[in-house]
C-alpha cells in the first residue's frame, strides 16, 4: 500500500475513533456525502440497524446496499451513478426489522419544505473579504464595547409583492443598509438551520449542517455575512442543541433504538415543545453537535451563537412531564451541564472572539464566566427576569407604579452576577402577549411616549441590548411568522418619528462611552434616587473611565410633568441636557431642550450639590456635565 493511502486510512480510523469518543469536532468530514474520484461516498452512523440502503432519484429510490463497519456502527457505500443536485435518503432496516426512509443527519442541503430529502451539494470555495473586521474582533474586548442587537426572523422581515419572503440575496441589498441606518452593531437570526415547519420558527431542527433552503442558498448567506462585516455589523445565529424535530423520518430513534436521544423515554420526550431531547452525555452526540456549531462558525464567519433553551438542558425537572432525580437525588442534568461546559471550552479554544450566548431563565446555575469556577462558560446570558419585570411595569396604569417600583429597580441588585444581555425579544410579541407598543398604557400618544421612555431605560441600564424587528418603530400588531412586517406603518408620522428616535438612541448609545466602557463592574453605575416612589421617578448615573465622563439619567413614569425637579449631582458646575424623549422630532411636543443646569451647594441625599430641571410627562432625559469642578465632590 502506498504511503498516501496509508495516511488516508490512518486519518479515517482517527476520525472514527474520535467520533466515538466525543472528540471529533469536524464529524461532517467523516459522515454524510462526499465527492471522491468520479463519484460520491456516503456514510451514516446507525449502530443498531440491521441494514442500510442508499436511495435517491438517481436509482428510482431503489436500495443500494451499504456496508457496516462493526467497530464504529458506520455504514458506507461508494457510487458513481450520482451527480450534484441529486436527491437522496437512507433506507434503514431498524433493529426491530421495520424499514423506514431517514434523512442524512449530516446533509448540507435539503429540498424545500415540506419535503426533506437531502440534496448532493458542494460548497464553492469562497474568497472572503472580511479580514479587517475579523482582525478587529480578535483585538477588541466585547465586554467593554457597545453591543446592540437587532433580532430577526429571516423570512418575515419583508415579503415581495407576490407574497414570497426575501432571500438572503434580497436581505443583503436591503437589510444591511437598514442596519447601518438604524445604528445597530449586530444582527441576530432565529435558527437558520433546516426545519420542516415554519410555525416552529426554526426551533425544531432536522438539519444541523444545512441552512434552510427556504431562505436561499448557503452562498447567499455567506455573501450576506461578508456584507455585514464590511459595514461593521456582526452576525449572530440561534442554535438548538437541546432538542430536535419529532418527525419519524428525521433523527428520532434513527436505527430503531435510542440513538441520538436518551434511553429513558421520560428524558427523551420533550412534552413542552413536542420534540425529542438529545442524549447530551453520549459521546457521538457530542461530536455531532459541537461539529455543527464549528461548521456554522467557520463556514459562515458568524460572530456568535445564541444557545436556545439552556434551562431545559441543565434541569431534569424543567419539562412538564414526569422526571427522575439524578444519582445525587437532585434535579441537575449532569449530562447537559457538562456538555455545555465542553461546548464552550472547545469553541473558545478554537475561536476566542466568537461570542457564546445563553437563553437561560433560572438563577440557580452560574452561566457566564470561567468554567473553572463552576460556570457553564458562556460569554453572555439573556436577562429574562429583567425583561419580565420591566414589561409588567410598563403595562400597568401609572397610578399603580408607585406601589410596584421594585419591578424596575430590583435588577440593580443582581445586574453584575452575570454578563447580561437585556432582551426585548420575539417571545414577548406573539401568542396574544401584544406588541411592545400595544403593551403600553393609555391612548396612542401616551403609548408612544412610554415606548420612548422604555427604550431609554433599556439603553441606559447596564447590560448589552437586543430588540426584535418591528419594535423599532412601534409596530402595533403582533409579529406573524408567515407575513412581512407592517412597513406601511411608517406612513404614519408617529411611527416614522419612533423609528427616527430608535436610530438616534442607538447612535447615542454607540457614542457614549459611559454606557459600556465599565459595564463589567459596579463602577459603571451610581444610583442617585431609586426611592422616589411618590413621584415615580428613577434617577441614576452611568460612568466611564474618566472622572468627567458620566451621564445622569432621569425617568418619569407618570403622565405628570415635573417642573423644578430637584436632583443631586456629584460635582459643582454646569450640566447640559443631551437627550429628551419628548422632542418634537421624536413624536413629542417639545421644540427645544431644557436650559443648562447650574448646580447649587444644597444637600440632596449624600450629594452636596443639587440641580433643578423639568422632566416631561412619561418622558426621560439625560444630562451630561458641561463644565464641572471634579477636585471636590
Q: HEC states along 95-120?
A: CCCCEEEECCCCCCCECCCCCCCEEC
CB 330, CB 366: distance < 8 Å = no
- Helices 334-350 and 283-300, interaxial angle, to 10°? 30
Question: Tell me: the pLDDT tens digits for 368-377?
Answer: 999 999 999 9
pLDDT of the residue at 630: 85
Find the catalytic residue in 86, 194, 226, 359. Answer: 359
Instruction: Report residue 102: phi and psi, to 5°.
Output: -125, 150
Dump pLDDT digits (tens) for 201-239: 999 999 999 999 999 999 999 999 999 999 999 999 999
Cα distances (angstroms) measured from residue 131 to each of 144, 269, 352, 567: 22, 44, 16, 48
If you average pLDDT over residues 328-334, what whole number do you get?
A: 96
Report in angstroms the alpha-carbon separations of 518 from 541, 570, 571, 576. 12, 18, 20, 22
pLDDT beyond 60 at 1: no
Tell me what the mean pLDDT of segment 456-465 comes to. 98
Mean pLDDT across the stretch 40-46? 98
> How big, in percent rounded to 5, are the helix, strand and coil portions of the chain?
35, 25, 40
Q: In this predicted model, what pLDDT tens digit does every residue of 530-568 receive, in sequence order?
A: 999 999 999 999 999 999 999 999 999 999 999 999 999
157-184 confidence digits (pLDDT tens): 999 999 999 999 999 999 999 999 999 9
Over 90: is that where the pLDDT of 283 sits? yes
- Answer yes or no: 328 catalytic: no
Number of other CB atoms surrounding residue 496 within 10 Å:
14
What is the SS3 assignment for 66?
Answer: coil
On the question of pLDDT at 366 being above 90, the answer is yes
Answer yes or no: are the C-beta atoms of 98 and 256 closer than 8 Å.
yes
The neighbouring-strand residues paired with 332 are 315
Please check the confidence at residue 598 and state whether its pLDDT lies above 60: yes
Positive/negative CA dihedral, 190, 192, 198, 199: negative
pLDDT at position 3: 73
End-to-end CA distance of the chain: 82
Q: What is the mean pLDDT of residues 30-52?
A: 96
- HEC string of 356-385? EEECCCCCCCCCECCHHHCCCCECEEECHH
Work out the percent of the chain whose per-residue pLDDT is above 70: 100
Which is higher by pLDDT, 122 or 435? 435
Report the pLDDT averaged over residues 391-419.
96
Q: Which member of 116, 308, 517, 577 is catalytic?
A: 308
* pLDDT given for residue 34 in this prediction: 96
Question: Is the CB of residue 600 less than 8 Å from the CB of residue 613?
Answer: no
Domain map of the chain by residue range? 25-119, 525-629
- Report the mean per-residue pLDDT for the chain: 96
Distance separating alpha carbons of residues 206 and 276, to the nearest angstrom: 11
Is the omega angle on the peptide bond into residue 464 within 30 degrees of 0, that is, cis?
no
Q: How far is CA 574 from CA 360, 524, 600, 622, in A?
A: 44, 22, 10, 14
**Annotation says 359 is catalytic:** yes
> What letter does residue 41 receive in the DSSP assignment?
E
- Reading the block at residue 250, the C-alpha cell is 428525521
Q: Please report, rounded to a whole number, the percentage of residues in the chain having pLDDT higher than 90.
A: 94
pLDDT band at 7 (very low <50, low <70, confident <90, very high): confident
| Confidence (pLDDT) at 6 | 78
What is the reported pLDDT for 632? 61
Could you check whether 25-119 and 525-629 share the same CATH topology? yes
The Cα-based distances of 27 to 339, 523, 566 in angstroms read 17, 45, 64
CATH architecture of 25-119: Sandwich (2.60)
Cα→Cα distances 102→247, 248, 594, Å: 10, 8, 67
- Residue range 525-629 in CATH 2.60.40.1180: yes
**Model pTM score:** 0.97
Amino acid at each position: 500500500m502506498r504511503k498516501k493511502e496509508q495516511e488516508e486510512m490512518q486519518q479515517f480510523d482517527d476520525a472514527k475513533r474520535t467520533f466515538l469518543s466525543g472528540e471529533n469536532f469536524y464529524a461532517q468530514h467523516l459522515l454524510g456525502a462526499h465527492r471522491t474520484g468520479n463519484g460520491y461516498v456516503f456514510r451514516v452512523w446507525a449502530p443498531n440497524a440491521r441494514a442500510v440502503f442508499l436511495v435517491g432519484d438517481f436509482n428510482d429510490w431503489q436500495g443500494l446496499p451499504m456496508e457496516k463497519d462493526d467497530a464504529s456502527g458506520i455504514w458506507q457505500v461508494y457510487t458513481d451513478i450520482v451527480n450534484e443536485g441529486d436527491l437522496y435518503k437512507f433506507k434503514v432496516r431498524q433493529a426491530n426489522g421495520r424499514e423506514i426512509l431517514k434523512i442524512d443527519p449530516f446533509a448540507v442541503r435539503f429540498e424545500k419544505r415540506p419535503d426533506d430529502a437531502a440534496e448532493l451539494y458542494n460548497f464553492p470555495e469562497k474568497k472572503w473579504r472580511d479580514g479587517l473586521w475579523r482582525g478587529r474582533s480578535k483585538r477588541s474586548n466585547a465586554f467593554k464595547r457597545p453591543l446592540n442587537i437587532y433580532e430577526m426572523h429571516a423570512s418575515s422581515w419583508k415579503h415581495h409583492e407576490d407574497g414570497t419572503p426575501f432571500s438572503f440575496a434580497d436581505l443583503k441589498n436591503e437589510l444591511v443598509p437598514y442596519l447601518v441606518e438604524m445604528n445597530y452593531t449586530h444582527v441576530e437570526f432565529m435558527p437558520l438551520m433546516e426545519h420542516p415547519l415554519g410555525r416552529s420558527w426554526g426551533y425544531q431542527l432536522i438539519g444541523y449542517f444545512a441552512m434552510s433552503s427556504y431562505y436561499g442558498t448557503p452562498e447567499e448567506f455567506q455573501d450576506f455575512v461578508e456584507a455585514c462585516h464590511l459595514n461593521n455589523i456582526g452576525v449572530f445565529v440561534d442554535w438548538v442543541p437541546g432538542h430536535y424535530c419529532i418527525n419519524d423520518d428525521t433523527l428520532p430513534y434513527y436505527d430503531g433504538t435510542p440513538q441520538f436521544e436518551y434511553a429513558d423515554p421520560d428524558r427523551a420526550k420533550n412534552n413542552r415543545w413536542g420534540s425529542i431531547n438529545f442524549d447530551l452525555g453520549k459521546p457521538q452526540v457530542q461530536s455531532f453537535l459541537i461539529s455543527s456549531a464549528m461548521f456554522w462558525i467557520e463556514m459562515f464567519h458568524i460572530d456568535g451563537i445564541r444557545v436556545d433553551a439552556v434551562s431545559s438542558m441543565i434541569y431534569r425537572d424543567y419539562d412538564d412531564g414526569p422526571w427522575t432525580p439524578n444519582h445525587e437525588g437532585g434535579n441537575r442534568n449532569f449530562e447537559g451541564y457538562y456538555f455545555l461546559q465542553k461546548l464552550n471550552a472547545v469553541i473558545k479554544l478554537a475561536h476566542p472572539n466568537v461570542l457564546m450566548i445563553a437563553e437561560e431563565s433560572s438563577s440557580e446555575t452560574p452561566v457566564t464566566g470561567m468554567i473553572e469556577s463552576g460556570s457553564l462558560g458562556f460569554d453572555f446570558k439573556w436577562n429574562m427576569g429583567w425583561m419580565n419585570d420591566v414589561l409588567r411595569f410598563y403595562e400597568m396604569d401609572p397610578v399603580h407604579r408607585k406601589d410596584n417600583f421594585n419591578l424596575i429597580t430590583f435588577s440593580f441588585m443582581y445586574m453584575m452576577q452575570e454578563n447580561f444581555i437585556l432582551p426585548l425579544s420575539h417571545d414577548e410579541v406573539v401568542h396574544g402577549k401584544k406588541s411592545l407598543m400595544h403593551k403600553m398604557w393609555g391612548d396612542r400618544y401616551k403609548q408612544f411616549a412610554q415606548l420612548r421612555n422604555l427604550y431609554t431605560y433599556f439603553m441606559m441600564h447596564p447590560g448589552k441590548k437586543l430588540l426584535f424587528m418591528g419594535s423599532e418603530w412601534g409596530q402595533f400588531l403582533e409579529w406573524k411568522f408567515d407575513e412581512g412586517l407592517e412597513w406601511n406603518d411608517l406612513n404614519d408620522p408617529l411611527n416614522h418619528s419612533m423609528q427616527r428616535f430608535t436610530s438616534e438612541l442607538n447612535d447615542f448609545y454607540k457614542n457614549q462611552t459611559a454606557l459600556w466602557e465599565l459595564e463589567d463592574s459596579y463602577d459603571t453605575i451610581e444610583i442617585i434616587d431609586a426611592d422616589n416612589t411618590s413621584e415615580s421617578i428613577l434617577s441614576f448615573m452611568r460612568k466611564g473611565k474618566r472622572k468627567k465622563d458620566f451621564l445622569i439619567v432621569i425617568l418619569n413614569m407618570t403622565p405628570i410633568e415635573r417642573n423644578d425637579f430637584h436632583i443631586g449631582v456629584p460635582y459643582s458646575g454646569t450640566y447640559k441636557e443631551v437627550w429628551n424623549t419628548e422632542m418634537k422630532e421624536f413624536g413629542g411636543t417639545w421644540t427645544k431642550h431644557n436650559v443648562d443646569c447650574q448646580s447649587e451647594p444644597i444637600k440632596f441625599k449624600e450629594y452636596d450639590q443639587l440641580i433643578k430641571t423639568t422632566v416631561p410627562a412619561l418622558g426621560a432625559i439625560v444630562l451630561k456635565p458641561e463644565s464641572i469642578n471634579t477636585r471636590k465632590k
